[in-house]
Amino acid sequence: MKVNGSRSQERIDPSSVPNHTEIVVIGGGIVGVTAAIHLAERGIPVVLCEKGRIAGEQSSRNWGWIRKTGRDLRELPLMIESARLWARIVPQLDTDIGYGVRGTTYLAENDAEFEPHEAWHEAAKPFQLDTMLLSSAETDRFLGRGDRRFRGAIHTPSDATAEPSLAVPAMARYAKKCGVTILENCAVRMVERANGAVVGVVTEHGEIACKSVILAGGVWSRTFLENLGLNLPQLAVKSSVLRTSPAPEIVSGGLGAARASVRRRLDGGYTIARSGAAEFQLIPAAFRHFGAFLPVLRDRWRIMTIRAGRDFFGPLGTARWQADEETPFERVRVFDPKPDPRLINRVINAARELHPQLADARPVETWGGMIDVMPDEIPVLDSPPGWQGLLIATGLSGHGFGIGPGAGLLAAQMTTGETPVVDPKPFSLSRFSRRAAA
């Protein structure tokens, strides 16, 4: 990705920072931007502060899938609502973001890969989705081939895809039209409170008085909260992704497989990556929360790399600061990790083996992204005890692009006291303390 991985070159005029508002949103990714939209559409004054640029990190670096297929069932009600929100928001945008209802399909090469799809399909029946299981012959017909390469597939026609690098910036422009004040290159250093309630934030350019704060800081959320004395068992893993030159169409939507997943892009190429293959960074927080993450590491030990290095005391390591001191968010405006070239090579070769249409496709860009992961791989949408007015919206665990608008809506509703669109209990902070007690 052609992004600035350290300090931003642009500075904002401190006089453009308002001295008060109703709600401050921290973070310019898909959750923060859509939360701000939902608030502004309700006539609530809101200021969004982004330390770097809108969608500079994972919200522009993901695969671009908007799927219900294979979701954790605890997330599924919110994802169903999010799918409706995508369809409502897209017509309001000022540019083509490549959005389309094109379906999601997960291919299985053998029985071992097909059985989890069967189990999920059965468990998800109460949600009355249009998901279907495909036999080997049906999968061949769907893919336009006849070699019986796959044992079968699971397919949801109503799933969608879009271009992440276009979507969230377009949403941010829509948010501005709705009345949201967006401040890029404006890091929030602290949240201030009095008598247990939020009274404002301190940014690098001055204070903003407010009644509520939504923290949608992605991988930076844990670091921010630790400085406030709050504990969040969230860690960051690095993913590696590539895009190819234009190639013949396989299918128009997302096409997953254990060894390589592909999505046809608006430019005629493909975004290609491998699900679950990531680099687990050993930083101080990893040792504090290692026990909680053991199940994830155990399930994926064959495809996940554990690595220690110079990032141990890097920007996501241990840090403490005062409101008048420079923060990690100012030292690293946009986190731009290097992709793993060996993983990229394995994934593109696997994609070519699975799909003959990609035989001549060549990688034209590769990038890394830092994913905010929770131990159970579902988000946190909750307020910590003793912090009235602070709502944490983070930990979307690598599948936040699709569910982002729904998470933004739920965050806005919980902040304003509106009846939530879904039950927020699955996303509570207390679930981790309960697990520890058990």
Domain boundary among 128, 157, 186: 157
Q: Closest Cα partner for 201 from 38, 19, 79?
A: 19
Domain boundary among 124, 157, 190: 157
pLDDT of res. 293: 57
Is 341 in contact with 315 (CB distance < 8 Å)?
Answer: no
pLDDT of res. 15: 74
* pLDDT range class, residue 93, cuts 50, 70, 90: very high
In this model, does residue 75 exceed pLDDT 50?
yes
Decide: helix, strand or coil at residue 238. strand
pLDDT of res. 30: 98
The beta strand positions in 379-419, using DSSP E, are 380-382, 390-394
Give the span between the Cα atoms of 71 and 77, in whole angstroms.
Answer: 10
The reply to whether 336 falls in a domain is yes
For strands 100-101 and 160-161, give the pairing.
Answer: antiparallel
Is 358 in contact with 247 (CB distance < 8 Å)?
Answer: yes
Q: Are residues 137 and 26 in the same domain?
A: no
Q: Are residues 150 and 95 in the same domain?
A: no
Q: Are residues 134 and 251 in the same domain?
A: no
Q: Are residues 147 and 191 in the same domain?
A: no
Listed range (222-231, 237-246, 309-318, 405-414) with the worst mean pLDDT? 309-318
The reply to whether 241 falls in a domain is yes
Q: Are residues 205 and 151 in the same domain?
A: no
Q: Which two tokens stand for residue 437?
A: 């007690």
The reply to whether 3 falls in a domain is no
Q: Which two tokens stand for residue 104?
A: 């999601």
Give the span between the Cα atoms of 419 and 424, in whole angstroms.
Answer: 10
pLDDT of res. 401: 98
Mean of the pLDDT values across residues 367-389? Answer: 94
Q: Which two tokens stand for residue 44?
A: 């609530």
- The 3-class secondary structure across 143-194, one letter per residue, is HCCCCCCCCEEEEECCCEECCHHHHHHHHHHHHHHCCCEEECCCCEEEEEEE
Q: Are residues 31 and 77 in the same domain?
A: yes
pLDDT of res. 436: 43
Decide: helix, strand or coil at residue 79. helix
**Domains contained in the chain, number:** 2
Listed range (146-150, 242-246, 370-374, 410-414) with the worst mean pLDDT? 370-374
pLDDT of res. 13: 75
The reply to whether 9 falls in a domain is no
Helices then strands, counting H and E runs in the chain, come out as: 13, 22
Question: From the CA atom positions of the chain, what is the Rg in Å?
Answer: 21
Q: Are residues 141 and 261 in the same domain?
A: no
The reply to whether 8 falls in a domain is no
Q: Closest Cα partner for 46 from 58, 59, 33, 56?
A: 33
The reply to whether 171 falls in a domain is yes
Domain boundary among 157, 175, 196: 157
- Calculate the alpha carbon distances from 330 to 254, 324, 333 in Å: 36, 12, 6
The reply to whether 272 falls in a domain is yes
Give the span between the Cα atoms of 258 and 164, in whole angstroms.
Answer: 22
Listed range (34-43, 263-272, 288-297, 406-415) with the worst mean pLDDT? 288-297
Q: Are residues 265 and 373 in the same domain?
A: yes
The residue range of the domain holding 134 is: 104-157
Quick one: how far is CA 419 from the chain centroid?
24
Question: Which residues touch 191 (CB under 8 Å, ≥6 apart)?
Answer: 198, 200, 201, 213, 215, 228, 387, 390
The reply to whether 2 falls in a domain is no
For strands 160-161 and 65-66, give the pairing.
Answer: antiparallel
In this model, does residue 412 exceed pLDDT 90?
yes
Is 327 in contact with 189 (CB distance < 8 Å)?
Answer: yes
Q: Are residues 242 and 339 in the same domain?
A: yes
pLDDT of res. 236: 84
Q: Closest Cα partner for 214 from 238, 191, 231?
A: 191
pLDDT of res. 290: 54
Is 391 in contact with 213 (CB distance < 8 Å)?
Answer: yes
Q: Are residues 31 and 114 in the same domain?
A: no
Give the span between the Cα atoms of 295 and 242, in whole angstroms.
Answer: 28
Q: Are residues 228 and 338 in the same domain?
A: yes
Q: Which two tokens stand for residue 279?
A: 């680099």
Q: Residue 399: what residue type?
A: H
The CATH number assigned to the domain holding 346 equals: 3.50.50.60
Give the span between the Cα atoms of 351 and 176, in whole angstroms.
Answer: 40
Q: Are residues 250 and 190 in the same domain?
A: yes
